[in-house]
Amino acid sequence: MNDLYAGPMDSTLLALLALGLGVAIGAGIAAMIVAAMRARTAAEQQASSELPDGLTDVLAAMDDAACAVDPSGLVTAASTAAARFGIGVGATLENPELRQLVRSVREGGSQTSTLRLTRGGRNLDPRLVAARASRIGPRLSLLIIRDVTEQERLEQMRTDFVANTSHELKTPVGAVSLLAEAIESAAEDPAQVRAFATRIQAEAGRLGQLTGRIMSLSRLQSSDGLGAFGPVAIDEVIATSVEGHAVQAASAGVELTRGGDRGAWVQGDVQILIEAVGNLIANAIVYSPRGSRVGVGVRVGDGVVEISVSDQGIGIDEADRDRIFERFYRADEARSRRTGGTGLGLSIVKHATQRHGGEVRLWSRPGRGSTFTMRLPQIAAPDVDDDGVKRKKPPKDKSKKKRQARKAARLAASPATTTDPIRTDTGELV
């Protein structure tokens, strides 16, 4: 009886054991298949150079030079700006420093390096760049190149400006200090005291002029240093500038003349333009021999107003023409020292003209003179509409009329004269 029941039970147990063993074997095989598939996927990903989603769009929107690079240095994607450094899709990074930077981030993280690169594969125009490499995939690195040449130049200009300003200020300050000591020593000699006092006044004037020009230049170079522009009559600018330098011209024995077109208008700041033209006139007088002429001419054409200041002076050597508008640069150092020049006048002219949307041109020949020309965008006279209909003029200001009459009287009494246009196409004074 027991044997009868044992047979079916043994069969059931064996079936259960076989089923369990089959399940275990199947699970093991399935696990092995899954593990193999995962390993295969990981290997494919490791060997793939496929770009991450959205990277191409990001690169297209970047202003900096940027590219995705594989371990061999092959560029797989790049921004438009990367072409400035000769980097293009399908090409290999040629610069060894950039390739070394990319290799340094294979294990992860990011690296930054500052180096100089040539643009467009040329050996000219080296640019200072900040390059940063980061890993963005198993086989890809992102390289971003930011051009910091302009920042370096501005920083160098700032450093030079501070150094030059300090040097220039030391001269008049030291002179005033020494002259004050000399006055104290010569207290019993009235003639010596008066002589030293006169020299102190001259040095104080030079110090004030230098300080004022430094402030003017700083205001021109600042982003918010200028007020609102308005219509400016060039006739007023020329008349005021010529009048302000009539005494200087008479003392130097130089004839100051005015000619050219009348009635021109520009958009700008009248005081800044008067200072710029005045600087050109003052320079022309200083570098002109006694008995010569300095001419101020205006020419209007093609929507441009040209204000030219010409002299018959010593001229400027070709080697100095590229640097003549630099701050504190003097083509004739000894002459500038004698005349009290600051070396800032032409730099102010350049920046003032550029802030008014124009440019400065120079014509010069050693021994024959120089011509500086400010070219400014012309505007219509403020009392005329675009259709040529005259606007109603405001009531006349009697006090202003009197001031203008007095100014005209002073101009008539000054050595400045009015002539025909005085500038030729070559820039010579005729």
Determine contact, residues 381/356, Cβ cutoff 8 Å.
no
Determine contact, residues 393/233, Cβ cutoff 8 Å.
no
Q: Which among 113, 102, 47 has a CA at the least distance from the CA of 74?
A: 102
With bands split at pLDDT 50, 70 and 90, how would you rate the model's confidence at 216? low
Q: Cα separations (Å) of 58 from 80, 133, 147, 197?
A: 11, 16, 19, 70
Are 285 and 323 in the same domain?
yes
Please report, to the nearest 10 degrees, the dihedral formed by the alpha carbons of residues 59, 62, 66, 68 taken in order: -10
Are 388 and 321 in the same domain?
yes
Are 173 and 77 in the same domain?
no
pLDDT tens digit sequence for 257-316? 999 999 999 998 888 898 889 889 988 998 899 999 999 999 999 899 999 999 988 888
Q: How many residues are there in the chain?
A: 430
Q: Is residue 424 situated within a structural domain?
A: no
pLDDT (mean) for 152-180: 70
Q: Is residue 326 situated within a structural domain?
A: yes
Q: What is the pLDDT of residue 28?
A: 75
With bands split at pLDDT 50, 70 and 90, how would you rate the model's confidence at 171? low
Q: Is residue 49 situated within a structural domain?
A: no
Q: What is the 3-state secondary structure (H, E, C) of the chain?
A: CHHHHHHHHHHHHHHHHHHHHHHHHHHHHHHHHHHHHHHHHHHHHHHCCCCCCCHHHHHHCCCCEEEEECCCCEEEEECHHHHHHCCCCCCECCCHHHHHHHHCCCCCCEEEEEEEEEHHHCCCCEEEEEEEEEECCCCCEEEEEEECHHHHHHHHHHHHHHHHHHHHHHHHHHHHHHHHHHHHHCCCCHHHHHHHHHHHHHHHHHHHHHHHHHHHHHHHHCCCCCCCCEEEEHHHHHHHHHHHCHHHHHHHCCEEEEEECCCCEEEECHHHHHHHHHHHHHHHHHCCCCCCEEEEEEEEECCEEEEEEEECCCCCCHHHHCCCCCCCCCCCHHHHHHHCCCCCHHHHHHHHHHHCCCEEEEEEECCCEEEEEEEEEEECCCCECCCCCECCCCCCCHHHHHHHHHHHHHHHHCCCEECCCCECCCCCEC
Are 285 and 368 in the same domain?
yes
Q: Which among 384, 376, 430, 414 has a CA at the least distance from the CA of 237?
A: 376
Structure tokens at 423: 């500038």
Are 390 and 268 in the same domain?
yes
Proportion of the chain above pLDDT 70, given as a percent: 66
What's the CATH number where 330 sits?
3.30.565.10
Q: What is the pLDDT of residue 1?
A: 47
CA 43 from chain centre, in angstroms, equals 52
Distance CA 426, CA 430 (A): 11
Q: What is the pLDDT of residue 411?
A: 45
Distance CA 126, CA 302 (A): 38
Q: Is residue 250 situated within a structural domain?
A: yes
Are 234 and 100 in the same domain?
no
Q: Is residue 9 situated within a structural domain?
A: no
Are 258 and 364 in the same domain?
yes
**pLDDT at residue 49 is higher than 60:** no
Are 247 and 260 in the same domain?
yes
Are 336 and 390 in the same domain?
yes
Q: Is residue 50 situated within a structural domain?
A: no
The total domain count for the chain is: 3
Lowest-pLDDT range of 65-69, 93-97, 373-377: 93-97
Q: What is the pLDDT of residue 348?
A: 81
Q: Which domain holds residue 70?
A: 55-147
Are 188 and 65 in the same domain?
no
Which of 197, 225, 253 is at the close of a domain?
Answer: 225
What's the CATH number where 63 sits?
3.30.450.20
Single-letter residue type at 175: A
**pLDDT at residue 393 is higher than 50:** no
pLDDT tens digit sequence for 288-303? 999 999 999 999 998 9
Which of 92, 115, 147 is at the close of a domain?
Answer: 147
Q: Is residue 212 situated within a structural domain?
A: yes
Q: Is residue 241 situated within a structural domain?
A: yes
Are 278 and 390 in the same domain?
yes
**pLDDT at residue 139 is higher than 60:** yes
What's the CATH number where 162 sits?
1.10.287.130
Q: What is the pLDDT of residue 144?
A: 92
